Structure 1
Amino acid sequence: MLSQLSVKNLAVVEKLDLSFESGMSAVTGETGAGKSILLQALSLALGVRADSNLVRHGKDKADISAVFDAGQNPRVQAFLTKQLLEDEGECILRRVITADGRSKAFINGSNVSLSIMREMGSLLIDMHGQNEHQLLLRIDHQLQLLDEFAQLESAKNGLNVIVKEYKALDKKINLLTDNQDIIEQQQALYSHQLNELNEAMLDQDELGTIEADFKISANVQTITEKASTALNQLEQESGANAQLLALSSDLSSILEMDAKLQASVELIGSAQVQVQEAIYELTQYLSQLSVNEQSAEEIEARISELYALGRKHNCPIENLLITRDELTQKLDEIGGGVGSIDAMKQQLKAIAKRYQTQAQMLSKDRVSKAQVLSDVVTEVMQILGMPGSALKVGLNEKDQGVHLNGNESVEFLVKTNAGQDFKALKKVASGGELSRISLAISVVSGDSEGPPTLIFDEVDVGISGAVAEVVGRKLQDLSKNYQIICITHLAQVAAFGRQHLRVSKTQQNDSVQTTVEQLSNAERVNEVARILGGVTITNKTRQAAEEMIKQSV
């Protein structure tokens, strides 16, 4: 639910900080006081496009923040997680509009696009009123309303998974069919390159060591000579090993005379052991060098072959096996030509059959529930002061094929008087009628998982008396499941508000200032009395207002 709204330098508002309660909040004020500024501020916080003219005259920017308590809203939590946005139980939407026309949007302190903000906003607030952003006029929203009422969202989502599978395979078939000549050329090229690599008998150990092997083979004579010379100098009779043995023996013989020589004897002994190890390693190295000796010409020929393959595939020779695997994968992705296309077409038919089975079940449920929704909304419309009116949930069959959301589109049709024909909702209903139809739909679908906050703008246009009281009662009933914010001109509706906000406009130093204040119980009585009786509030109107508020509890 919406818990706070802060507005700075927006149009006629210099600074505004409001707290909202759960249940129903009534918003009243004189005509022209600026009640619509609340809707305008919230719309901006929900991501609608902004105009620099909205920035208060003389200020460099307007700043709007809306705080929502979203800790218990799984859809909002899932969206925040998906967008990698911080979440501590609150969702804060902030919009900054500069005087030069630029705009920035933030969710929980992170800069986001307006499309992300609008998507987030659609999960938080549903506005019912006389504005172009109203969800009820959108065909896709009408489909969503029917499916939520009929509890078909899960079935529809499952169907759309099949649709995406179908479209992906169909796209692949079309691509293969339209580019068959090119694909066959690619197949021939990839097959030729793959055969070359396979014929090269690649081995990863060889690829990793062949350059070092070539360097050894090219310099084997020099290596052998120098290693042999070093070995001879170490192991000949007068060599380093013999000298170290003699020194160690001589010093050991005089240790009894002076124990301080112990460290020197140990060091010489250690050096002799190291020399002996070196003699062993050199002997082993020279024996393996002679056994594994391969001509430099042979290695050079092999490395030239590998370098040629590396240049052809634009990779170092140690990556030739990776290239071979990539070519194999590309051939697999292209498929087996015409035979593969035929197989995929058979698979596509099977997916289409599976789609039709589920789509027909969905259609059957929609037809049944569309009539139920039409009847119950029409019944509530009569109660809300629209005698002779009716709503019809129309189902229009789509062309043969596989479609997102099923085989039919949904369109709400309405007639506002008896004897009229049903026409599209957006072509028939006036602003006030549209608000009451929205209210009627909201009442009958009060258990759906829609946005937790509903805003009704002048839902009472064109009604009065007992019907207005019924509208207020219906809004109050709806507030048991939703947070309701209702901008109203009628005392009968305002009396049902758990919270009452009054909008007023003042003139200060050649500038206009709109303020919003939460009313106390006494102030609330006076405001309801003002709406009932006008500027002059009499005891009778005050008593009538008190009685009206008492009856609303």
Structure 2
Amino acid sequence: MLCQLSINNYAIVRFLELDFRPGMTSITGETGAGKSIAIDALGLCLGNRSDASSVRPGAGKAEISARFSVDDIPLAKRWLEDNDLDAEHECILRRTINADGRSRAYINGNPVPLQQLKSLGQLLVGIHGQHAHHAMLKSEHQLTLLDSYANHKLLLENVAKSYQRYKQTQSELKRLQQSSLERIARKQLLQYQVEELDEFALQPGEFDEIEAEHKRLANGSALIENCQQGLYLLSEGEDANVESLLNKAVMLADELKDYDPELEIIGNMLNEALISVQESAAELQRYQSHLELDPEHFAQLEQRMSQAMQLARKHIVSPQELVAHHTKLKQELDAIDGDNSKLEGIEQELEASRQAYIAQAQKLSLSRSRYAKELDKLVTQSIKELNMPKGKFTIDVNFCEQTMSPLGSDSVEFLVTTNPGQPLQPISKVASGGELSRIGLGIQVITARKVSTPTLIFDEVDVGISGPTAAVVGRMLRQLGESTQVFCVTHLPQVAGNGHQHMFVNKANKGGQTETSMTSLDADQRIEELARLLGGDTITTNTLANAKELLQH
């Protein structure tokens, strides 16, 4: 519950520090005194938008802080813990607004974004404004009121998640469809390129082999001539060759080692050289015997090498990169085929997500219909108590599978009849201003009983109500205050008299400046204020007696 509110230099308030208690607190004051100013200031602590006009003229900044007890608010305690902002038993919200319009927000002394302040504020306070009954004419607000009463948050979350999945799948399908024409054109090009490269069928490393063999055959005559000359020098020369010369040297070394054993090593080295020369000659002979000048094979090699180089230029790669490029193109073609398969799959996925959404939306619709019937009876009973004895209220919930939104597939309409014999019609067409106020107030009080918000504020919601009806409204709010902290800004004595406590708002001129103050009234002061509300500036014995009667609870 709200325990304390401190206001510094806000609008026409210089300084206010207000302590609050459980139950219903009535707030009254003269017209123009600023009865709603404390509520407006509290709204800033709850995350409402601010501007430079919030700062009292002449002041550098406005500062508002609100202290709440959170012992009995498990949702708020969990929120504070989840955001590492928890305190043991209380929570302090603070907002500062500079004269230039910039503002800062704090929770338990920690600076936070405004959205966090708003998120927590929704768990602490619910505000019902004087124009709430006008918003009730809108279908979307009617849906919100029904959902607030039903309090089926999990069903709403499931529908919202299902809707989000459906929209994401729909976006992916749209993306794939939009690129379909581009993929078709690209696929045709790739198919031609891959078929051409498939037909050529160049193997890994083949181009280097072709290039080497081509070079060898292109220089075949020179190879044969050089091989013959090499063999002549090594072993086949008639006059002299390396092998015969080495043989003579080996024989000479064999003779010399008999004279000096140290020369044996020379003989060994010459023997090794002789063996190497013989092996070289044999290898050269073998190479020469296999060396063929095949013009037809050479032409085939030249043609394949030429084709490889043409394809490489066509694809803007080197001939050595052609095989890897071929593989890359095939992979891209496979990927496009995969995208087409994915397109078919995502169409099925979209239908599956739509069915999943419909299933969740139907569960939500059934819950809405069940709570709508419950709310029908309660609101009908309430408006009868509020001087509409023949009134009847019904909520029409219609499910349409083709309508998809994060809030489900329902359209909700409030129907009412205020006179016997009249059919149920949309509330916007039937109810007068006063009737609308009473119906709206009844719905607000009933839905407020179901929500877990520990503090409720009713800001002049009794506009258009008077007499016995006002007394009923007062009793409704007092009954609500037995289980929830209720603040009610009102101009009706019948409502104000039902408060467990009473605060009076006064405006005065001090030192050439207007200031608003707010004080708690004792029993005698309450009687005087109720008498003022009853009779205006002239307070008589009768108005005082009537005021005392209003406080007899």
Moved more, 533-542 or 515-524: 533-542
Within-5 A mapping of 1:54-453:
54-131=54-131, 140=140, 142-150=142-150, 152-180=152-180, 336-386=338-388, 391-395=393-397, 397-398=399-400, 400=402, 402-412=404-414, 422-423=425-426, 430=433, 436-453=438-455
SS of corresponding position for 1:485: strand
Distance in 2, Cα, partners of 1:439 & 1:333: 62
The residue aligned with 2:548 is 546
Distance in 2, Cα, partners of 1:331 & 1:481: 70
Counterpart of 1:60, as a letter, is G
Q: How far 1:472 moved relative to its partner?
A: 0.9
The residue aligned with 1:517 is 519
SS of corresponding position for 1:71: coil
Q: How far 1:27 moved relative to its partner?
A: 0.7
CA contact (8 A) 1:65 1:95 kept: yes
The residue aligned with 1:51 is 51
Greater Cα radius of gyration, structure 1 or 2 = 2
The residue aligned with 1:535 is 537
CA contact (8 A) 2:416 2:430 kept: no
- Residues 411 and 118 from structure 1, CA distance in 2 versus in 1: closer, same or farther, beyond 3 angstroms? farther
Aligned positions, number: 410
Deviation string, structure 1 residues 236-257 (Cα, Å, up to 9, x no partner)? xxxxxxxxxxxxxxxxxxxxxx
Counterpart of 2:457, as a letter, is I
Distance in 2, Cα, partners of 1:424 & 1:4: 39
Q: How far 1:341 moved relative to its partner?
A: 2.6
CA contact (8 A) 1:180 1:337 kept: no
The residue aligned with 2:469 is 467
Q: How far 1:123 moved relative to its partner?
A: 2.6
SS of corresponding position for 1:469: helix
Distance in 2, Cα, partners of 1:77 & 1:333: 52
SS of corresponding position for 2:465: coil
Counterpart of 1:54, as a letter, is S
Give the unaligned 5+ runs of structure 2.
Answer: 195-203, 205-331
Moved more, 476-485 or 116-125: 116-125
Distance in 2, Cα, partners of 1:81 & 1:415: 48
Distance in 1, Cα, partners of 2:456 & 2:131: 14
Counterpart of 2:468, as a letter, is A
Give the unaligned 5+ runs of structure 1.
Answer: 193-198, 200-329
Within-5 A mapping of 1:473-512:
473-512=475-514
Counterpart of 2:70, as a letter, is A
Distance in 1, Cα, partners of 2:82 & 2:141: 22
- Residues 54 and 426 from structure 1, CA distance in 2 versus in 1: closer, same or farther, beyond 3 angstroms? farther
- Given the alignment of the two structures, is residue 22 of structure 1 paired with residue 22 of structure 2, yes or no? yes
The residue aligned with 2:459 is 457
Deviation string, structure 1 residues 319-354 (Cα, Å, up to 9, x no partner)? xxxxxxxxxxx9999993222332232233233223
SS of corresponding position for 2:338: coil
Q: How far 1:77 moved relative to its partner?
A: 3.1
Deviation string, structure 1 residues 43-82 (Cα, Å, up to 9, x no partner)? 2222222232232221111111122222332332343345
CA contact (8 A) 1:28 1:502 kept: yes
Q: What is the RMSD of the two structures over their aligned residues, measured on CA atoms?
A: 3.7
Distance in 2, Cα, partners of 1:429 & 1:413: 14
Distance in 1, Cα, partners of 2:145 & 2:439: 13
SS of corresponding position for 1:336: helix
The residue aligned with 1:33 is 33
CA contact (8 A) 1:416 1:429 kept: no
Moved more, 151-160 or 393-402: 393-402
Distance in 1, Cα, partners of 2:134 & 2:113: 21
Distance in 2, Cα, partners of 1:492 & 1:543: 13
CA contact (8 A) 1:126 1:135 kept: no
Deviation string, structure 1 residues 94-117 (Cα, Å, up to 9, x no partner)? 222222222223333333333333
Counterpart of 1:529, as a letter, is A
Q: How far 1:389 moved relative to its partner?
A: 5.5
Q: How far 1:427 moved relative to its partner?
A: 11
The residue aligned with 1:240 is none
Return the TM-score normalized by structure 2: 0.64
- Residues 337 and 134 from structure 1, CA distance in 2 versus in 1: closer, same or farther, beyond 3 angstroms? same
Distance in 1, Cα, partners of 2:106 & 2:334: 45
- Residues 71 and 411 from structure 1, CA distance in 2 versus in 1: closer, same or farther, beyond 3 angstroms? farther
- Residues 30 and 415 from structure 1, CA distance in 2 versus in 1: closer, same or farther, beyond 3 angstroms? farther
- Residues 152 and 361 from structure 1, CA distance in 2 versus in 1: closer, same or farther, beyond 3 angstroms? same
SS of corresponding position for 1:158: helix
Moved more, 456-465 or 486-495: 456-465
Distance in 1, Cα, partners of 2:87 & 2:388: 44
Return the TM-score normalized by structure 1: 0.64
CA contact (8 A) 1:16 1:515 kept: yes
Counterpart of 2:107, as a letter, is I
Distance in 2, Cα, partners of 1:331 & 1:4: 70
Identity within the alignment, %: 41
Distance in 2, Cα, partners of 1:128 & 1:424: 19
The residue aligned with 2:253 is none
Moved more, 398-407 or 175-184: 175-184
Distance in 2, Cα, partners of 1:115 & 1:372: 34
The residue aligned with 2:12 is 12
The residue aligned with 1:237 is none
Q: How far 1:528 moved relative to its partner?
A: 2.3
Counterpart of 1:497, as a letter, is G
SS of corresponding position for 2:450: coil
Distance in 2, Cα, partners of 1:454 & 1:433: 23
Moved more, 402-411 or 177-186: 177-186
CA contact (8 A) 1:394 1:413 kept: yes
Counterpart of 1:79, as a letter, is W
CA contact (8 A) 1:442 1:478 kept: no
